[in-house]
Amino acid sequence: MTEQKSRLLITNAHLLHPERSELTEESWIEAVDGRITASGSGHPPSSSCDNVRVLDAAGSTVMPGLIDAHVHILLTTIDFTEFHSWSASYTAVRALREAGRMLRRGFTTIRDVGGADYGMAKVLDEQLMAGPRLIFGGSALSQTGGHGDLRSLSDRSVSCCGNGVHFTRIADGVAAVRAAARDEFRKGAHHLKIMASGGVASPHDEISAVQYSDEELRAAVEEADNHNRYVTVHAYHPRAINRALNAGVRCVEHGNLVDDETIKLLVEKDAFLVPTLVTYEQLALQGRQSGLSESSCRKIDDVRFAGLDGLERAHKAGVNLVYGSDLLGSMHPHQLNEFALRAQVQPNVDIIRSATTTAARLLRMEGQIGTLSIGAHADMLILRGDPLQDISVLTSPEKQLRYVIRAGLPIEVAE
């Protein structure tokens, strides 16, 4: 007896191929056992198999599922005092609920850059709960007093970050950085995240501070390289970004304060930049009432206004740009607003590529996700309207996103 295969056939669809900036004539696309197996124009060839689920797209657009390359699914609150009072199980269930919401916004893959681990990825992989594919990096590395050191000034304890859920870990010195990197890779991390400059959420560092020495950064890169992985850094300004890139770091998060020299270096190194404009917009709007500390609130404007200009210059110079949101807690519903912010300075197709093909390249999953190519995972969106013409087609899923399909399984979203 042959095993029953699960087939999905979508008909009457316009296929959006981000790599070719193309929306096809009326077409069909087929997935078998979670992979795209065939597509073509006009009517599909008749199938002898009767175990096929057919979705009539009725003229809608089918595009690859979106990738958000900068999330923290564990941080479902912005109030770190509250966060540290939670148990690991409570934190995980809240995180998985948010992951489910991300899927229904159209994100079929997320890259977590601080906190999520193999257990959470396994739950989503086995589809024990609905959610995107989770590419995780384990705990981010921070030096003492760095962006990942959230102890208060009065805290004299020598280790950090209480409840068994660690979105960062402290490592000082080359040997400790190597040991921490090896430990994260032992636990299956897909990348290593390093805090290389000051940040907004950390209570006692300046944005303009540089964190970690050249030797520590090079050690992290060597460890990542040895494991066939890569390093990504949290960094805002040229001083921190240039050092990281020269140490061999492959990806930069935020980068709001980039200058032209740094942009040139990003291009030369073929590195990736993941701007996260929406988080500063939302922190400015709701940070204070959501429990963000006073010292953090004061730092938001240091990076917020420069971000869009930096993105525009990086885009014009041809930097590999990837979609990121970096939202925390109650800010998560705005995950798609990054599209609207970027549309002020970038053509729609380039923003769509940042959330599909370019993101897939960063994740070293080219041809597997972010594409409708044959053999790719059947992660797709069925949308009313054409996001190449109108980016708001992506930003209002409750009206425009008819189905989100993850590994060939469709979930109905809009009416």
Q: Which residues bind Zn ion (CB under 5 A)?
A: 234, 326
Closer by beta carbon to Zn ion, 29 or else 283 = 283
Of 200 and 365, which has the nearer Cβ to Zn ion? 200
Cβ at position 290, least distance to Zn ion in Å = 16
Residue 392 in tokens: 């708001």
Cα separation, 88 vs 406, whole angstroms: 27
d(CA 173, CA 180) in angstroms, rounded, equals 11
Residue 347 CB, shortest distance to Zn ion, in Å, is 26
Tokens 């069909």 map to which residue?
Answer: 28
Q: Are 150 and 160 in contact (CB under 8 A)?
A: yes
CB of 244 to Zn ion, least distance (A): 13
Q: Which two tokens stand for residue 162?
A: 């209480």
**Calpha distance 325→336 (Å, rounded):** 8
Cβ count near 67 (within 10 Å)? 29
Least distance in angstroms from the C-beta of 48 to Zn ion: 50
Q: Closer CB to Zn ion, residue 61 or residue 91? A: 91
CB-nearest residue to Zn ion: 234
Closest CA to 137 of 164, 123, 108, 116: 116
Which of 84, 68, 81 is CA-nearest to residue 166? 84
Closest separation in Å from C-beta 142 to Zn ion: 10
Q: Which is nearer to Zn ion, 95 or 372 (CB)?
A: 95
CB 177 within 8 A of CB 216: yes
- Mapped onto helix, strand or coil, the DSSP state of residue 116 is coil
Q: Which is nearer to Zn ion, 18 or 114 (CB)?
A: 114
> What phi, psi does 108 have (nearest 5°)?
-95, -10
Nearer of residues 236 and 403 to Zn ion, judged by Cβ: 236
Who's near 122: CB < 8 A, 6+ residues apart?
A: none
Tokens of 108: 């079929």
Q: How far is the CB of 83 from Zn ion (least distance, A)?
A: 14
Please name the helix (run of DSSP H) or strand (run of DSSP E) that holds residue 68, with its range, or none: strand 66-71
Show the tokens assigned to 400.
């425009």
Q: How far is the CB of 72 from Zn ion (least distance, A)?
A: 6
Cα distance between residue 136 and residue 122, in whole Å: 11
> In this complex, which beta carbon is closest to Zn ion, that of residue 223 or of residue 326?
326
Looking at the Cβ atoms of 283 and 382, the one nearer to Zn ion is: 283
Nearest approach in angstroms of CB 129 to Zn ion is 23
